[in-house]
Chains A and B, each alone.
Chain A
Amino acid sequence: AQKITQTQPGMFVQEKEAVTLDCTYDTSDPSYGLFWYKQPSSGEMIFLIYQGSYDQQNATEGRYSLNFQKARKSANLVISASQLGDSAMYFCAMREAAGGTSYGKLTFGQGTILTVHP
Chain B
Amino acid sequence: NAGVMQNPRHLVRRRGQEARLRCSPMKGHSHVYWYRQLPEEGLKFMVYLQKENIIDESGMPKERFSAEFPKEGPSILRIQQVVRGDSAAYFCASSRGTGTTGELFFGEGSRLTVL
CA distance A93 to B42 in the complex (A): 9
Question: Which stretch from A13-21, A27-35, A62-70, A74-82 is at the chain B interface?
Answer: A27-35
Chain A residues near B41: list those with CB within 8 A. 110-111
CA distance A109 to B59 in the complex (A): 16
Total A-B residue pairs with C-beta atoms closer than 8 Å?
73
Interface range, A side: 20 to 34
Known contacts A103-B48, A103-B56; A111 and B42 CB within 8 A of each other = yes
Chain A residues near B91: list those with CB within 8 A. 45
Q: Which positions 42-56 of chain B face chain A at CB distance < 8 Å?
A: 42-45, 48, 55-56
Is the pair A47, B42 in contact by a Cβ cutoff of 8 Å? no
A50 within 8 A of B: yes
Chain A residues near B99: list those with CB within 8 A. 97, 102-104
Output the least CB separation between A114 and chain B (Å): 15
Is the pair B106, A95 in contact by a Cβ cutoff of 8 Å? no
Q: Which of B56, B98, B105, B106 contacts A102 (CB 8 A)?
A: B98
B109 within 8 A of A: yes
Is the pair B101, A47 in contact by a Cβ cutoff of 8 Å? no
Is the pair A91, B43 in contact by a Cβ cutoff of 8 Å? yes
Output the least CB separation between B74 and chain A (Å): 18
CA distance A95 to B99 in the complex (A): 9
Is the pair A109, B42 in contact by a Cβ cutoff of 8 Å? yes
**Chain B residue at smallest Cβ distance from A108:** B42
CA distance A106 to B59 in the complex (A): 11
CA distance A7 to B73 in the complex (A): 41
Which positions in B face A, CB cutoff 8 Å?
31, 33, 35, 41-45, 48, 55-56, 59, 89, 91, 93, 98-109, 111
* Nearest 8 CB-CB pairings of A with B: A108-B42, A45-B106, A33-B100, A103-B98, A44-B108, A102-B98, A105-B45, A108-B43
